[in-house]
Amino acid sequence: MTAIDAQSQPWWKRGVIYHCYVRSFLDSNGDGIGDLPGLTCKLDALRNGTPSSLGIEGLWLSPVYPSPNRDFGYDISDYRSIDPMYGTMEDFDRLVAGASARGIHLIMDLVVNHSSTEHAWFRQARTSRENPFHDYYLWSDGTNGKPPNNWGSSFGGSAWEWNEQTHEFYLHSFLKEQPDLNWRNHRLRKDIHDIMRFWMDRGVDGFRLDVANYYVKDAQLRGNSHEFVIAQPMPGNPSKTLFIPMSREVYDHTVDQPETHDALREMRGVIDEKPGRMMVGEIAQHTLDQVLSYYGDGQNELNLVFNFFFFVRRFRAKDFRDIIERTLDLLPEDAWPAWVLSSHDVIRAVSRYHCSPPMTKSMIGLLLTLKGTPFLYNGEELGLANTLLPRRLLQDPVAKRYWPLPVGRDGERTPMPWDATPNAGFTTGIPWLPVSAPAMSYSAESADPTSVLSFTRRLSWFRSHHSALNAGDMSIVAGPSDTCLCFTRRSSAEHLTITINLSDQTVAIPRGSFTSDQTPLFNTEEQPSMDSLAPWEVRIADTSA
């Protein structure tokens, strides 16, 4: 690819996308649950046109549709409205207007592998085999009262649940309250396309597709194979290993079926009906080349695919370099990476890697300088860690199911700490989960120029003003030591060299090397040394000459 400039980059390639877990962001009415008016009044912190905000380009909202909340919004009962818990449609329109006035693009979570059992489609579908919505879901008679095959739910147990009214089983890849939709039904597909158009007409700029590689299942319902493992990644904290000998399901007939790509190409057609719209997909479970196959030819399937591979690697230059190199190699021409370090589903990177604040800065330094779109999970800009919660406070169905195994996702979903008032300014009521690290806060970190927040803002501002960072090519080059990650970014306007010391040791810089000859344009250190890199230092130098 030839070097290109920021101006020709679509917004979803150019800027930072902020992942907002709305329930935990800011509560405006004292019920203990974050909501849309709360988020709207914090938009200036996200982007206000000056370096005193995060300067995000996109804002992805966790699901805010009506939902019985068995899986906190990932079980949707109406795709075309807003849960009263989060506000009204007018509140939503105000959020869209406020975001667009600041140049923030809004992304909705589109959860269409499954609906809620409370959705009108399922309520009808389950009443009779003749019901016109029956075929919107996946059914089987089973054999002798037993499920038809060994497919398991990703949340544990069989993926089949008995429906008394029709005397058959329905499929649920997650909770039994999340029945899987039948993507071979073309009326359903058209309904989903119309839901996308409904939100795009209201000003939504894109969608995050929940478990997008799960849509189509094997038509013959062939059983999945199993492999025997002694060690496997811990659910919720995949960088840790669980040593429990067990037989693990390989999802060979339930995920990554070829027809899923057809469905995504159709959806891309809908996205492309309006300029500047995009979709980013969550592709879970698989190898890097399988994940990257969801870009299609680079133009015709997902615009972005989350790269989750940092979750499962150690915090070492060698590990990161390996993932980055392989990703850049395997990516189809014209496709653009999307990097993630933390989310509402896995332990926060700060806890995963046991980061000190300087180490956190090196990690955010990496996220914001790589070629690709950085996704920043709310709280990550503060350096928030996971919150340890006692069992009685756990809310996540996964945590409840696997207790006492240390899995579950509540620890990364606790509310944002805003200031020094009670409940850290998140709510005037009782927060739905205890507030994260009330000793840290947005206002305290805003006032401290050495905080992780100040660093993140400064780097994000720098990034948005340098086409090499927000649009350029990338090549990994040899750094001053194995513990450093060193790479160049190049646009038609400039050539930058980024060196990140991913270690707690000072690293000597050989005289005459490109890093030593340049006064850094950007640095974590106030007084960078020409001869060495401080522990965890992030240094960006202009190497155009």
List contacts with Ca ion (CB under 5 A).
27, 29, 31, 33, 35
Is 325 considered catalytic here? no
Q: In angstroms, what is the minimal distance from the CB of 33 to Ca ion?
A: 4
- One residue of 27, 35, 57, 71 binding ligand GLC per CB under 6 A: 71
Q: In angstroms, what is the minimal distance from the CB of 175 to ligand GLC?
A: 8
* Residue 302, contacted partner among ligand GLC, Ca ion, none, CB below 5-8 A by kind: none
Helix axes 258-271, 186-201, angle to 10 degrees: 30
* Residue 29, contacted partner among ligand GLC, Ca ion, none, CB below 5-8 A by kind: Ca ion
d(CA 145, CA 256): 29
* Residue 536, contacted partner among Ca ion, ligand GLC, none, CB below 5-8 A by kind: none
Structure tokens at 296: 């299609």
Closest CB to ligand GLC belongs to which residue?
Answer: 74
d(CA 353, CA 503): 12
Q: In angstroms, what is the minimal distance from the CB of 166 to ligand GLC?
A: 24
Between 347 and 484, name the residue whose CB sits nearer to ligand GLC.
Answer: 347
- One residue of 83, 177, 180, 345 binding ligand GLC per CB under 6 A: 345
- For tokens 């811990």, the residue is 234
Specify the DSSP class assigned to residue 227: E
Q: In angstroms, what is the minimal distance from the CB of 429 to Ca ion?
A: 8
**What 3-state class would DSSP assign to 484?**
strand
Between 399 and 533, name the residue whose CB sits nearer to ligand GLC.
Answer: 399
Label the pairing between strands 495-501 and 484-490.
antiparallel
Candidates 389, 377, 465, 395; CA nearest to 434 is 389
Asked if 177 is part of the footprint of ligand GLC (rule: CB under 6 A), the reply reads no
* Residue 31, contacted partner among Ca ion, ligand GLC, none, CB below 5-8 A by kind: Ca ion
Label the pairing between strands 17-20 and 58-61.
parallel
φ, ψ of residue 164 in degrees (nearest 5):
-60, -40
Catalytic residue among 75, 210, 380, 381: 210
Catalytic residue among 75, 91, 282, 412: 282
- Which residues, numbered 211-270, are part of the site for ligand GLC (CB under 6 A)? 211
Q: In angstroms, what is the minimal distance from the CB of 291 to ligand GLC?
A: 14
Asked if 412 is part of the footprint of ligand GLC (rule: CB under 6 A), the reply reads no
Q: In angstroms, what is the minimal distance from the CB of 179 to ligand GLC?
A: 12
Is 71 considered catalytic here? no
CA–CA distances in Å: residue 388 to residues 56, 410, 434, 436, 476: 29, 9, 10, 9, 38
* Residue 345, contacted partner among Ca ion, ligand GLC, none, CB below 5-8 A by kind: ligand GLC
Between 409 and 490, name the residue whose CB sits nearer to ligand GLC.
Answer: 409
Between 85 and 211, name the residue whose CB sits nearer to ligand GLC.
Answer: 211
- One residue of 111, 350, 355, 363 binding ligand GLC per CB under 6 A: 111
* Residue 174, contacted partner among ligand GLC, Ca ion, none, CB below 5-8 A by kind: ligand GLC
Q: In angstroms, what is the minimal distance from the CB of 302 to ligand GLC?
A: 15
Specify the DSSP class assigned to residue 249: E
Q: 88: buried, middle or exposed (CB in 10 Å: 19+, 13-18, 0-12)?
A: middle
Between 52 and 285, name the residue whose CB sits nearer to ligand GLC.
Answer: 285
Q: In angstroms, what is the minimal distance from the CB of 376 to ligand GLC?
A: 16
Between 104 and 211, name the residue whose CB sits nearer to ligand GLC.
Answer: 211
CA angle in degrees (0–180, nearest 5) for 397-401-404 = 120
d(CA 529, CA 507): 11
Asked if 137 is part of the footprint of ligand GLC (rule: CB under 6 A), the reply reads no
CB-based contacts of 255: which residues, under 8 Å, 6+ apart? 213, 214, 284, 285, 286
CA–CA distances in Å: residue 113 to residues 180, 274, 390: 6, 24, 32
Between 115 and 491, name the residue whose CB sits nearer to ligand GLC.
Answer: 115
* Residue 297: other Cβ atoms inside 10 A: 11
Q: Taking the alpha carbons of 337, 283, 249, 257 in that order, is the dihedral positive or negative?
A: negative
Helix (H), strand (E) counts: the chain: 16, 22
Asked if 210 is part of the footprint of ligand GLC (rule: CB under 6 A), the reply reads yes
Evaluate whether 401 touches 156 at the Cβ level (below 8 Å): yes
- Which residues, numbered 299-318, are part of the site for ligand GLC (CB under 6 A)? none
Between 153 and 488, name the residue whose CB sits nearer to ligand GLC.
Answer: 153
Evaluate whether 344 touches 413 at the Cβ level (below 8 Å): yes
Positions touching ligand GLC (CB under 6 A) are 71, 74, 111, 174, 210-211, 282, 344-345
The catalytic residue positions are 210, 282
